Chains A and B, each alone.
Chain A
Amino acid sequence: MMKFVKFLAVVASALYLACLPLALAAPAVTVEPGRIDVGMDFSGAQVRLKGTAPEGAQLIIKATAPGHPTGLSKKGRVGGLWMTVESVTVDGMPGFFQVLTSTGMREVPPAALQQAGVDPAYENLLGMAKVTVKHEEQKVVLDPAAGEEYARGLVEINRKKGLYSIREGAVRVDGGRFEALLDIPAAVPRGDIRIEIFTVAPDGTVSALEPHVLQVASVGLVASLGSLARTNPVTYGILAVVIALATGLAIANLFKYLQKLIFKDEGVSAHH
């Protein structure tokens, strides 16, 4: 069913693209696929961004999604073992942050980078972080200097998960057209990813193209089991138990039957 829908989508978009030369008001940017479905077969995705860009312009593509307050722990050595020595909550950092540029960032005027809200080392994000620590049931906001270690830690965690990335030179520009691939990792948060595209003219003027929204949503079993586990954990727990009991008994009987068939004996009981 999903395959068929995807096929239809592909056919529809192919037809649409074929008609593009006829359409006078062709959109400047296409995002393909237009949404990300996180189903049982999801292991990440690639999104192709294509569009027209003024001759000689540099491009900056920024894809972001809002984040949630995240609990972070600092490990320290306690009696030879690595344990948590401090726990904080970090808020204000994006859940997804990818920057793709057509050239090295050093070749882009700093004012243009600032306008686009990007930099080569996530410094912008560190400034957004609000780090709070609990002291005797009181939430205390750490000053930026003390909180920076945690903000950097979260950047590192998200970078390893592929949620944060900065790829200089990843936007291909050729004859007034550009193309780039956005890598969506398996850990992508559900919700909307906002894709902003900035062009930087040779004289340094920055103009933003129409932003796109890429929807990321759970589908199928991932959606139904995930939402049941969150909204009705008692029912989910009972369901997990019932599924386990039914599977356990059914497979045990199946094996007994197979053994009678193959080995002509009563078989061996698994687990004791």
Chain B
Amino acid sequence: MDVYLPIAGMPVNVFLILGLGALVGVLSGLFGVGGGFLLTPLLIFAGIPPAVAAASDTNQIVAASASGALAHKRLGNVDVKMGITYLVGGVLGGTAGAQLVRVLRGVGNYDVTMKIVYVIMLTLVGGFMLIESVNALRGKKKEADPGKPSAFKRFVEKLPLQTEFKVSGVRTSIIFVVGLGFIVGVLAALLGVGGGFITMPAMIYLLGMPTIVAIGTDLFQIVFTSMNVTIQQAIANHTVDVVLAILLFCGSTIGAQFGARFSKYFRGEQLRILLALIVLCVMVKLVFDLVTTPASLITLTAGGGGH
């Protein structure tokens, strides 16, 4: 059964899109990650123009993160001050990112740029996860280095505008938080991701926030960053396909229910190795796309979909 996507301007198989959403949903339910960073590449592999894939995935993330953010807010897991500070950067970054996408599409190099950034991101995420979980399986423990703050932490401590974030129980520079939010905002627009794979480690390891507050605050900022990026993409690039977004969301919600229930039957490290391998496979396929000679050397500059 096909459905015609009004913005992408092409028919897609409903079950293929629901299935991709469900696949990523199962993974996100299993691993407790957002999965946006897998969904955009999978959509591109399925033939959706990259710019439409990224912008519609962002639209889907709005739906996927809303209820979680609300639940964490009710439970008091959101550091609102931290979230809003982060959002100042996130909104600026998302707006700049949508303009960056517009410029890159204008010169015909959006596809290659986003794929390169994806390869870097997926290599880092997949590589870290693989090493960490292989070590964990072997029974190695990461040597903690208490008392000796890293060079990076010392640098952040020297930045001006140091502020207390009471809910998180941390003290850090507003500039650092806004800067981090900005980077994640740009990536959200460029790649169609929520950016949890950067925000979470940054909040937990660099800022020292409690994990549950990091999760709540990340979801809180993701909702608003994605809302902004969706609107900015609609304005700058006309690439938000709301029909595609809703189909993906329905698939991923159903998938996530199964994933979360399956996860009880696996060990955490085994799961993480599996996810790392999936991430690395997607990365390899993207590298392959980047280096193999395209079937045709003349292509549409905007990459199709949305004008």
Q: Which residues of A contact B (CB under 8 A)?
A: 38-44, 70-76, 80-84, 87, 149-150, 152-154, 156-157, 186-187, 218, 221-222, 225-226, 229-230, 233-234, 236-241, 243-245, 247-249, 251-253, 255, 259, 267-272
Complex contacts, B109 vs chain A, CB 8 Å: 83-84
- Not counting A87-B108, A267-B257, A270-B252, a sample of 12 additional A-B residue pairs whose C-beta atoms are within 8 angstroms of each other reads A84-B108, A150-B298, A187-B10, A237-B231, A237-B234, A241-B227, A244-B60, A244-B249, A270-B25, A270-B28, A271-B28, A271-B64
Q: Which residues of A contact B10 (CB under 8 A)?
A: 186-187
Are B294 and A82 in contact, CB atoms less than 8 angstroms apart? yes
Contacts of B306 in A (CB 8 A): 229
Chain A residues whose CB sits within 8 angstroms of the CB of B245 once the complex forms: 240, 244
Q: B275 in the interface, Cβ–Cβ < 8 Å?
A: no
Give chain B's interface secondary structure class: helix
Question: Which of B64, B260, B298 is within 8 Å of A248, CB to CB?
Answer: B64
Smallest CB gap from B56: residue in A: A240
Using Cβ atoms and an 8 Å threshold, which residues of chain A touch B28? 270-271
Given contacts A71-B300, A229-B234, contact A253 B108 (CB under 8 A): no
- A-binding segment of B67-75, B168-176, B181-189, B266-274: B67-75
| A-B interface pairs (CB < 8 A), number | 204
Q: In angstroms, how far is the closest chain A Cβ from the Cβ of B196?
A: 8
Please report which residues of chain B, range 124-158, place their CB below 8 angstroms from some CB of chain A when the two chains form the complex. none
Name the residue on B nearest A160 (C-beta): B296
Contacts of A243 in B (CB 8 A): 242, 246
CB atoms of A272 and B219 under 8 A apart: yes
* Residues in B neighbouring A187, C-beta threshold 8 A: 9-10
- In the complex, the chain B residue whose C-beta lies closest to that of A252 is B67
Residues A81 and B62 in contact in the complex (CB < 8 Å), given A73-B301, A270-B29, A272-B215: no
Which residues of chain B have a CB within 8 Å of any CB of chain A?
2-4, 6-7, 9-11, 25, 28-29, 32-35, 59-60, 62-68, 70-72, 107-109, 112, 116, 196, 215, 218-219, 227, 230-235, 238, 240, 242-243, 245-246, 249-250, 252-253, 256-257, 260-261, 290-294, 296-302, 306-307
Residues in B with CB closer than 8 Å to A272 are 32-34, 68, 72, 196, 215, 218-219
Q: How far is the CB of B307 from chain A (nearest CB, A)?
A: 8
Q: Tell me the nearest residue of chain B to A245, going by C-beta.
A: B66
Q: Knowing A249-B70, A272-B68 touch, does A225 contact B6 (C-beta < 8 A)?
A: yes
A41 near B3: Cβ-Cβ < 8 Å: yes
Partner of A237, one of B72, B235, B257: B235
B232 and A248 form a contact (CB under 8 A): no
CB pair A248 B6 closer than 8 Å: no
- Report the Cα distance A248→B250, complex, angstroms: 9
B60 CB to closest chain A CB (Å) equals: 7
Q: Which of A81, A237, A255 contacts B112 (CB 8 A)?
A: A81
Bound Cα distance A218, B5 (Å): 12
Contact among B6, B233, B250, B299 for A73, CB-based, below 8 A:
B299
In chain B, what residue has the closest Cβ to A270?
Answer: B256
A132 to B235, CA, bound (A): 27
Distance between B144 CB and nearest chain A CB, rounded to angstroms: 25
Instruction: Report B-chain residues with C-beta under 8 Å of the C-beta of A237.
Output: 230-235, 240
Interface contact A270-B230, CB-CB below 8 Å:
no
Using Cβ atoms and an 8 Å threshold, which residues of chain B touch A259? 257
Distance in angstroms between the alpha carbons of A186 and B3 in the assembled complex: 11
27 contacting pairs across A/B (C-beta < 8 A): A41-B2, A73-B299, A81-B116, A83-B109, A84-B301, A156-B296, A157-B296, A157-B298, A229-B6, A229-B240, A233-B238, A234-B234, A236-B234, A237-B231, A240-B59, A241-B227, A243-B246, A244-B63, A244-B242, A252-B253, A268-B260, A269-B71, A270-B29, A271-B256, A272-B34, A272-B196, A272-B215
